[in-house]
Structure 1
Amino acid sequence: MMSRKGFVLLLIMMVASFQARALEFYKVIDEPINIRSGPGVSFERLAQAKKNEQVLLIKRQEDWANIFFIHPDGRKVEGWIHSDFISPDGEVRQADSKLKASAIGAQLNCLPNAENTGIGSCLLNIDLTVVGPLTTDTVAVACESELLMHVNNETHPLQESGRIRTPLKQGSGAARMQIIVLPPNQKSIEKMTLVDYRCMAKAL
């Protein structure tokens, strides 16, 4: 694994645009985390970062952070990650360190459009469990999903997300998140497939 000193030197050489500002290093605190081309789950996934991956913070935009890091395969990746998944390098956020949401199952049910020529809408149910500190009684849970739309023997990606609040009792809880999926070009979509999904929790 590359040392911190080596990582700093490599970044300085390759990212000249960052030299005029202070370098802020963070670590990924969960895995695997999607790195996207923009600040939101609707943007393309560029790569995934593993837990304890060291990243350089460029800037923030609302709940998202623009970061740069060296992927294990050697790629230089600049993209966006949700701020809940990074913390200052060498530090652990005590407030949320034991708070975790786990998706334990999902089901996608779709209905045809009015003309019965394609899929009109789908309902994605995600069953999840949440564990956290005994002092936390309510959490906000956000889930993101990746789907594929099948159109004329081709597939097209689609991202959807949802948020709910759920109570915790003695440090644990369970909930079902329902996400309504309204795909574009409904007349030509033959099938929808759920590819991946994940959830995260934050104390309120």
Structure 2
Amino acid sequence: MAVDFYMVMVDSLNVRQGPSHSGHIITKAPQHQLVLETRREGDWSEIFYLDSHKANVKGWVYNRYIQPQTLTPDTVAESVFAINVSAAQPVCEGRSMITGGSLCYLDVTFAVQSKTGQQTDVQVNCWADFVVPGRDSVTPVQATMTKRYRLTPEGASDTMRLKAGLKQLLDSTTLNVAYYNCAAGQ
């Protein structure tokens, strides 16, 4: 299953309940909003994103107004930290039902160092975008975790477990990772 990110290219884009101009408008996606496409039917794309209030938005948009995006790891030219990030395959433990206390997760490992060699505190934020295939559709899920670390001359490293907690039952035994990364700051 391919998972693609798109950018909203118009001032505001109607997000509808179904793949039709007659579908009820749920909300409007703002220009430059990054969305995850989870399904496509002709000129319509089912999309998912977090709005400015961090609420999940899932609906259908006319896909002539969105443009494919290539995601690259975040880089900050003036960052005083260097960070390396890796992850293994996602893990789903237990039976075939993923519930609110999901047993599905991704372990993201990072190593961060100060470019200046200073011993200082650093805040590391790791995040992942998951896609959970179900019987009839896929459900996108986002997870994030932030922790503070004290850098030694050798730096700091750790593994953050990003859990894909879901609010509804899905008939699925798999969890696909669309994107993951970590960033360091003060």
* Deviating 4+ runs (over 4 angstroms): 34-37, 40-44
Matched, 1:98 2:111: no
Q: CA deviation at 1:143?
A: 1.0
Equivalent residues in 2 for 1:164-179 (5 A)?
164-170=147-153, 172-179=155-162
Q: Flag the structure with larger Rg.
A: 1
Q: Which structure is higher in RCO with an 8 Å CA cutoff and minimum separation 6?
A: 2
Matching residue of 1:152: 135
Q: Percent identity?
A: 17
**Amino acid corresponding to residue 160 of structure 1 in structure 2:** A
**Amino acid corresponding to residue 183 of structure 2 in structure 1:** M
Equivalent residues in 2 for 1:135-150 (5 A)?
135-150=118-133
Q: Deviations over 1:160-197 (max 9, x none)?
A: 11111222211622111122221232242342111210
Structure 1 unaligned residues grouped into runs of 5+:
1-13, 16-33, 45-74, 77-83, 87-91
Q: How many residues align?
A: 126
C-alpha RMSD of matched pairs (Å): 3.6
Structure having the larger proportion of residues in helix: 1
Structure 2 unaligned residues grouped into runs of 5+:
1-9, 12-32, 36-49, 58-65, 68-73
Alpha carbons of 1:191 and 1:139: their partners in 2 closer, same or farther (altered >3 Å)?
same
Q: Normalising to structure 2: TM-score of the pair?
A: 0.53
Alpha carbons of 1:162 and 1:136: their partners in 2 closer, same or farther (altered >3 Å)?
same
Q: Deviations over 1:89-129 (max 9, x none)?
A: xxx75xxx2213331223422223xxx45123113211011
CA contact (8 A) 1:143 1:199 kept: yes
Alpha carbons of 1:35 and 1:117: their partners in 2 closer, same or farther (altered >3 Å)?
closer
